[in-house]
Every structure is written in C-alpha cells, then in structure tokens.
C-alpha cells in the first residue's frame, strides 16, 4: 500500500467473485458513524483517503471537490454552535413524539470525532470548461458527493468511520471556515475509529426509520 | 454470489490489504463509459446491481432513490431528441475551437448502450421524517448520487460500464418518462459491457481536460 493511488497497474484488473463479495460487505457495513474513539487518524492514512476521493467521477472532468480539514478549536466550536442552532430549528419542525426521539438521537459526533472535514464544491471552477453543466449545474455538487462517497468507502475499508452532518447552515459554515465565495458546502464530515460496528443503520437501531426493499423503487417505462 | 445483497455476515468483516489494493484499482479503473457493446446485461445481474445501489447512505434514512429502467423505443427516441437539443445549446456556449472538439466528443452513448436507467430523487418522500433535510434539502438528491455511485462501482466490478448523461432537460425527461411530479432527475445512466477499458478518463484521452493532483484541493483551517 505504499504506491500512490495514481500508480497504474499494467492492464485492466479482473475483479473476481471474492472481491465482489467483499465489496458487497463494504456496502453493507459502511454506516453513518456518530460515535467515535478519540484515537487520531494517522496523517499518511488521511492523505491516502483524500487521494482516493479525488479519483471520483466529476462532470466534464471538472474535479470541483475542495476539502477543508478543520483543526482550529475556535472554528470547531463555531461549527458546533451552528449545528446546535440549526438542530433546535429542526426539532421544532418535528411532531412532539418524534421530537422527543429526535432529541435523544446523538446526531453530530462533532464532539468525539478526532477529524473534521468540510467538503465543498467549487462552483466557479473553469476546469472542465463547463462541459455537462449547462442544463444541470447541480452536477458540480454531485461530483463532490461522489468524492465524499469514495472517501467514505475507502475509509471503512481501513476501519475508519465517517458521519455526514447536514444539520448546518451552509453559508454560515463557509463564513466560519473563510473559504472562497464560490465554494458551496456539500457536507460536513466527522471521521475517526468507530466506537462500535454494525451492519444496520443507526437510525434503524434507534427506531427512527426502517430500510425498505429495493423492489418498490424500480419501475419500467 | 447467490445470496441477496442484504444477507448478513456474522460479524464485522475485516478488510485486508489485498482487498484495499483491489478497491483502489476499482476507483482507478471505474471510468465514465460512452462506447458500449450491444450485449444485453442479464436481468438477474441488473437486479443485483440495483439492490447494491439501495445500500447507499441517505439523509435521515429517507432512501429517496427511484430508478426507471427505460425500455420503450419511443421514449428512448424522445430522450435522445432531448439530448440533441440540449447539446446544441451547450455547443453554442463553448468557444469556437472548443466547440469543434466538443462536437467530436461522443458524449452520450445513448445509441449503443443496451440498458438505460433514469435515476430520480423523490423530493416528496416522508420516509426519514425529513430528518437532516431542514437546512440542506439538496441532501435528498445527494442520496441518489450516492446510490448511482454505488451502482457504478458494483457494475465495474462485474465488468459493466456506466456513463452518466447530464446534458438533458430534467423536466422534459421527467415528462417523457411519466414519473410522479415530486421525482427530480439526478442522472440519466447508460449501462452495458464497455467497448474498451482504460485507466484514464476519456475526456483526458480526448484532450478536453486533464486530471489534477489532490494537493491543491485540500486546505487546513
């Protein structure tokens, strides 16, 4: 694992049944993690994960993903305050019984996770010459989502958990992190070694919602 | 590979160095495919890939992904016409020399791909009780992006290529496919066995754009 992620094998790899079984396990055991151990992620490993994220597909090869590793204690506290404010609003939008369950959900993992990464999409990038963005400009943000998802899967394969926090005000987060105006927040990510493992979603285990089968989501035309 | 994707191993899997190397190869060799063989994808395999897609993360466990397998020749022709119209507009938005290169890019794969899937996000779903969607409602679409990316990776591991077409008018595609009003188009996907393999993006090989290194996209705050 010392080669850079861009190191190239000689020919197309042939993925076998064993790899596909493990890949399926990776999808099954990925999880949105909220409870972390305090052990930090080694810098070399974090760099490697971010390099894998940059192999994601992007519209017109625009590679618009921008990652901000949030280390400053003051900025982290401001992000936490932003979450608290938004969470309060979200709580009001829930019915009373659900609000009580909601309040018990530890949604953020912001306090425990040793590593925080804010993932942005650079809406102003000229890379890719705006190919494919004419009718669907949102594909710039979608490219960053694919990068986050790549990071998530690669992290899980290294035993690292990731939690995606979306209960935040994107403009406020951008201001706290002092990023260029064209950068649009896509997700705020908490990373670390998970405090527990599971093959079912935390929200399912907590009784918030259940997974459904795929049959109902596929139609033919 | 006969078990359903939801079949569960007894304990958390331990992913080894060999798996991680192959996973990295999967990211490197994924590709956005535009040239396909005509060989159809077996139905059982397609079902399996869609089941894997449904293991993706989703905001508040809302699972908003909706897949439309487009088979009807008339509808396919209407999608193609929609692409042609949007492509013409996009062409006008490019400078003259780039427009000439753009015109030479075979962007769609719509003619060759044996399998077409339109992927939507159901913005109206109550599953997940709107958790996490209060300040960032776009996370519903992002969940479908994660499902598409899962499908893409699982497909590549089975030797199937996928191309994401974004030069389309989302409202027109929804009308052509006669889907519920709350379904929002996220991506139109062409799938099939690829006519060629490669470890570098087609747009790079065609001289449209080059990949950059990850160093410039990571900052610290």
Cβ atoms B65, B54 nearer than 8 A: yes
pLDDT in tens, chain B (221 residues): 444 455 555 678 999 999 999 999 999 999 999 899 999 999 999 999 999 999 999 998 999 999 999 999 999 999 999 999 998 888 888 888 888 777 777 667 899 999 999 999 999 998 888 888 889 999 999 999 999 999 999 999 999 999 999 999 999 999 999 999 999 999 999 999 999 888 888 888 888 888 886 768 999 99
Q: Which of A19, A70, A203 sits opposite B19 (nearest CB)?
A: A19
pTM of the model: 0.93
Higher pLDDT, B87 or A181: A181
B-chain residues near A96 (CB < 8 A) = none
pLDDT digits (tens, 9 = 90+) for A18-71: 999 999 999 999 999 989 999 999 999 999 999 999 999 999 899 999 999 999
CA dist B40 and A134 (Å) reads: 31
Cβ atoms B187, B148 nearer than 8 A: yes
pLDDT of residue A202: 85
Q: In B, residues 153-192, which contact A (CB 8 Å cutoff)?
A: 153-154, 156-159, 164, 166-170, 177-179, 185-187
B-chain residues near A221 (CB < 8 A) = 68-72, 75, 177-179
Q: Which of A9, A159, A167 sits opposite B134 (nearest CB)?
A: A167
pLDDT digits (tens, 9 = 90+) for A105-139: 766 789 999 999 999 999 999 888 888 888 999 99
Enumerate the β-bridge partners of residue B5: none
Residue partners of A55: CB distance under 8 A and separation at least 6? A5, A150, B27, B28, B30
Q: Give the mutation candidate from A43, A83, A150, A157 for the B interface (greatest B CB count, under 10 A).
A: A157
Tokens describing residue B28: 């490197």
> For residue A147, which of B65, B218, B118 has the smallest C-alpha distance?
B218
Q: Kindly list the structural domains of chain B, giving each domain's residue range(s) and its CATH number in brackets, ordered by start.
A: 30-211 (3.40.109.10)
- The separation between the first and the last C-alpha atoms of chain B, rounded to the nearest angstrom, is 45
B-chain residues near A109 (CB < 8 A) = none
What are the start-end ranges of the H helices in B93-215?
96-104, 139-157, 170-177, 202-205
Residue with tokens 């949105």: A32
Compare all CA atoms of chain A with the CA of B6 and give the residue at the minimum distance.
A28
Torsion, CA A67, CA A70, CA A71, CA A76, rounded to 10: 180
If you compute the radius of gyration of chain B from its CA atoms, what whole number of angstroms results?
Answer: 19
Q: Which of B9, B57, B133 sits opposite A32 (nearest CB)?
A: B57
Residue with tokens 């913005």: B123
CA dist A33 and A149 (Å) reads: 14
The ipTM, to two decimals, is 0.92
Pairs across A and B, CB distance < 8 A: 300
pLDDT digits (tens, 9 = 90+) for B129-154: 888 888 999 999 999 999 999 999 99
Rounded to 5 degrees, what angle do the CA atoms B104, B108, B113 make? 125
CA dist A168 and B18 (Å) reads: 38
- Report yes or no: A203 at the B interface, CB cutoff 8 Å: yes
Cβ atoms B166, A60 nearer than 8 A: no
Contact across the interface for A69 and B221, Cβ inside 8 Å:
yes
Higher pLDDT, A90 or B220: B220
Q: Is B161 helix (H, G, I), strand (E, B) or coil?
A: strand
Residue with tokens 């994660």: B146
- Report yes or no: A125 at the B interface, CB cutoff 8 Å: no
Question: What is the pLDDT averaged over residues A135-164?
Answer: 97
Contact across the interface for A27 and B59, Cβ inside 8 Å:
no
């Amino acid at each position: 694992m010392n080669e850079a992620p861009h190191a190239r094998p000689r020919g197309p790899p042939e993925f076998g049944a064993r790899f596909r079984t493990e890949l399926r396990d990776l999808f099954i055991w990925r999880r949105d993690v909220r409870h972390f151990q305090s052990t930090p992620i080694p810098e070399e490993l974090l760099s490697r994960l971010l390099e894998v994220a940059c192999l994601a597909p992007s519209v017109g090869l625009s590679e618009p993903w921008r990652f901000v590793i949030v280390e400053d204690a003051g900025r982290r506290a401001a992000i936490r305050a932003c979450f608290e404010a938004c969470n309060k609003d979200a709580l009001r939008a829930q019915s009373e019984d659900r609000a009580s369950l909601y309040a018990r959900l530890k949604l953020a993992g912001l306090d425990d996770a040793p590593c925080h990464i804010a993932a942005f999409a650079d809406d102003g990038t000229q890379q890719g010459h705006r190919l494919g963005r004419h009718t669907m400009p949102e594909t710039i943000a979608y490219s960053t989502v694919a990068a986050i998802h790549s990071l998530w899967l690669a992290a899980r394969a290294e035993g690292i958990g990731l939690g995606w926090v979306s209960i935040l005000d994107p403009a406020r987060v951008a201001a706290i992190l002092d990023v260029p105006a064209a950068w649009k927040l896509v997700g705020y990510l908490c990373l670390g070694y998970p405090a527990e493992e599971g093959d079912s979603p935390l929200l399912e285990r907590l009784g918030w919602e259940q997974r459904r089968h795929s049959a109902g989501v596929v139609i033919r035309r």
